[in-house]
Structure 1
Amino acid sequence: MKLHELYPFPEERVNRKRIGRGRATGQGCTAGKGNKGQNARAGVSERPWFEGGQMPLARRLPKRGFKNYPFKVVYQPLNLDRLLEAFAGQDAISLDDIYERGLAKAGALVKILSQGEVAAAVTVEAHRFSAKALEKIAAAGGKAVTLGAVESGDETPTE
């Protein structure tokens, strides 16, 4: 048997149901929708969660907890080893340089993490630094410049 010889058997071919084409078809008159009511009307469909005007389940159940998602601040992590590998030989790394190299999405808040070693003194700009990353940069004689407003409870900005 070849691909062009494949075909559906006659019993597998089912014609679509043609509703509303006269009483003799068996699907005339109300076209299988019953008599009157919302579901008999054209163009009307209920939403799956609609309960016929009854108080919906999502509104009947008590709400608990605190939702902080509108105020959540998400930082894009960047390890020191990846940062220094991308800017080998440079003594100053600005946030714009990080965006241009594609190490972080443009406009994203960047947090520098401590994985990797700092061999030379380097000045790094970012929105946040982990405590160990600050130690490593300072130990190598470099400087960490924190940009933007830092929320309370975060590490203190260093220059």
Structure 2
Amino acid sequence: MTDNVQLNTLSPAEGAKHPRRRVGRGIGSGLGKTGGRGHKGQKSRAGGFHKVGFEGGQMPLQRRLPKRGFTPLGGHLRAEVRLSELQALPVDEIDVQVLKQAGVVGQAVRFVKVIKSGELSRKVVLKGLTATAGARAAIEAAGGSLA
């Protein structure tokens, strides 16, 4: 590399730039007559193309496969909460509304399940929430309950 690099002397690396391919410009160019499009058919015609997923009239894949799954209008209605997230909350009586206000779950959530992840060392009373067997045992071991 030279020490005298100037903005006006910069240029792309050798072989980095290729000339634009000009199709349909005579037999000598190598891309004359059909211009690399082959003979006949929809793909050879000017303006002749089709929408994404079109299979020449055959039933397209996205229509052959069955519909599956469903997302409710209000988004995801269910959420999971860890024991460590309950530990961080400042209140002892916890329900879905408390979790929403604390920003632990989204506003559209209606059903919350507590999972055993993290530690819980204080007494909490859960109202309207469900819990896994491990989480239930951990809550009760800390002196809490599920109402």
Q: Match of 1:110, SS?
A: strand
Q: Please name the residue that 2:120 is paired with.
A: 117
CA RMSD of aligned residues (A): 4.1
Cα distance change on mapping 1:112 and 1:12 into 2, 3 Å: closer
1:17 Cα deviation from its structure 2 partner: 1.3
Contact preservation (8 Å) 2:77, 2:108: no
Cα distance change on mapping 1:130 and 1:3 into 2, 3 Å: farther
Say yes or no: does 1:36 pair with 2:40.
yes
> Where in structure 1 are there 5+ consecutive unaligned residues?
58-62, 145-158
Cα distance change on mapping 1:24 and 1:132 into 2, 3 Å: closer
State the percentage of identical aligned residues. Answer: 28
Contact preservation (8 Å) 1:76, 1:104: yes
Q: Match of 2:119, SS?
A: coil
Q: Distance in 2 between matches of 1:49 and 1:15?
A: 33
Asked which structure has the greater RCO (Cα within 8 Å, sep 6+), the reply is 2
Contact preservation (8 Å) 1:77, 1:112: yes
Partner amino acid, structure 2, of 1:131? A
Work out the number of aligned pairs and report it.
134
- What TM-score comes out, normalization by structure 1 length? 0.56
Q: Distance in 1 between matches of 2:96 and 2:58?
A: 55
